[in-house]
Structure 1
Amino acid sequence: MKKTIHVLKEEYAEIRAGRANPAVLDKVRVDYYGTPTPINQMAAVSVTEARTLTIQPWDVSTVRSIEKAIQASDIGINPQSDGKIIRLIFPPLTEERRKEIVREISKMGEDAKIAIRSVRRDAIEKLKALKKSSEITEDDLKQGEKKIQDLTDKFCKEIDQIAQDKDKEIMEI
């Protein structure tokens, strides 16, 4: 369940929210001598202004391939290059785009809750299997089910809070 929360936070970090965030480049891979390589392993990525991300490759010959990889990705930003440094300027979000992002956030949160409930189902099935093989008693089974349900409720509330915080962040920008 903790892993589900961790994955959700990573997904939320990748959402382009009108301000520069290096996490949007985490999924972008550049063909570097035949190997798909993450940008942060071949360049210094930094936020220079609120809406500008700067990518300074350690090997200047890779500037063009980094640009192509960013254009081919689905982050929706065109890179601007001077031959040595690549700049990504994030446009301000429109109200329509904000609402679309909020819908995506809600869907991701719901998917995370489904994953949590799936973990709950698997755990309860294991408890029932232990009961069936007489390794635990009926009381142990009931206590275990209650603990698992309490954990599930706790993690679902945490997901709701994380999603609500991200919604608020998007709508305030």
Structure 2
Amino acid sequence: MDSDLKGYGVKMDQAVEHFRKEISTLRTGRPSLALVEHIRLDYYGNQVSLDKVAALNIVDNRMITITPWETKLISDIEKAIMGANLGMTPQNDGKCVRLVVPPMTEERRKELVKILKKMAEEAKVSLRNIRRDANEDLKKKSKDGLITEDRVKRLQEDVQKMVDGASSKVEEHAKKKEQEILST
């Protein structure tokens, strides 16, 4: 990769990775710790994620248990889960919080696929914004006499290839997640 484009390639990779992490939180029919590990709660005045203050486990095909390191956090964990709007009601036994993952309805699956497609489009928009920034940077360098116009054209083609590659990765991740949502 050309040194003039290296930073933009890294930004595109980060955008794809962000999308991949973001869609991992979309619920499928089976429990996943990604549903809850990102939930944040107040811990001694700091906002921390749930996985930093509790052990998260998948007990069976329908339940996630959250066992806090300190039992006094149970009510805070319940409030944080309710605030996260997961569509699940936490239950506690004084030692841990249980989340029963309800079976997915066909309507909910279709709704999640729509959300997934919206997220994929947002990821592609961010890739196009990175392309725009790269092209503006290249034009500025050409105007300042730092690179030739022929080189600008070649580099712009390279930027487009990078965007196309990153977009296809986003599509790949989205397609895989869609199958996961519809099949479980």
- Supply the distance in 2 between the matched residues of 1:94 and 1:166 (Cα, whole angstroms): 17
Please tell me whether the aligned partners of residues 32 and 58 of structure 2 are also in contact (alpha carbons under 8 angstroms): yes
Residue in 1 that maps onto 2:122:
111
Please tell me whether the aligned partners of residues 14 and 24 of structure 1 are also in contact (alpha carbons under 8 angstroms): yes
TM-score normalised by L of structure 1: 0.95
Residue in 1 that maps onto 2:111:
100
User: Matched residue pairs, number?
Assistant: 173
SS of alignment partner, residue 28 of structure 2: coil
- Supply the distance in 2 between the matched residues of 1:164 and 1:96 (Cα, whole angstroms): 19
Q: How does 1:2-17 map to 2 (within 5 A)?
A: 2-17=13-28
TM-score normalised by L of structure 2: 0.90
User: Aligned letter for 2:94?
Assistant: G
Q: Which has the higher contact order (CA 8 A, sep 6+)?
A: 2
Q: In percent, how many aligned pairs have the same letter?
A: 38
User: Aligned letter for 1:172?
Assistant: S
Deviation at 1:117, TM superposition (A): 0.6
Contiguous gaps of at least 5 residues in structure 2 = 1-11
**Residue of 142, 148, 162 corresponding to 2:153:** 142
- Supply the distance in 2 between the matched residues of 1:154 and 1:127 (Cα, whole angstroms): 20
Deviation at 1:96, TM superposition (A): 0.4
RMSD: 1.1
Contiguous gaps of at least 5 residues in structure 1 = none
- Supply the distance in 2 between the matched residues of 1:10 and 1:93 (Cα, whole angstroms): 21
Residue in 2 that maps onto 1:72:
83
Please tell me whether the aligned partners of residues 14 and 26 of structure 1 are also in contact (alpha carbons under 8 angstroms): no
Please tell me whether the aligned partners of residues 27 and 181 of structure 2 are also in contact (alpha carbons under 8 angstroms): no
Residue in 1 that maps onto 2:92:
81
SS of alignment partner, residue 15 of structure 1: coil
4+ residue stretches of structure 1 with deviation over 6 A? none
Please tell me whether the aligned partners of residues 26 and 38 of structure 1 are also in contact (alpha carbons under 8 angstroms): yes
- Supply the distance in 2 between the matched residues of 1:38 and 1:67 (Cα, whole angstroms): 13
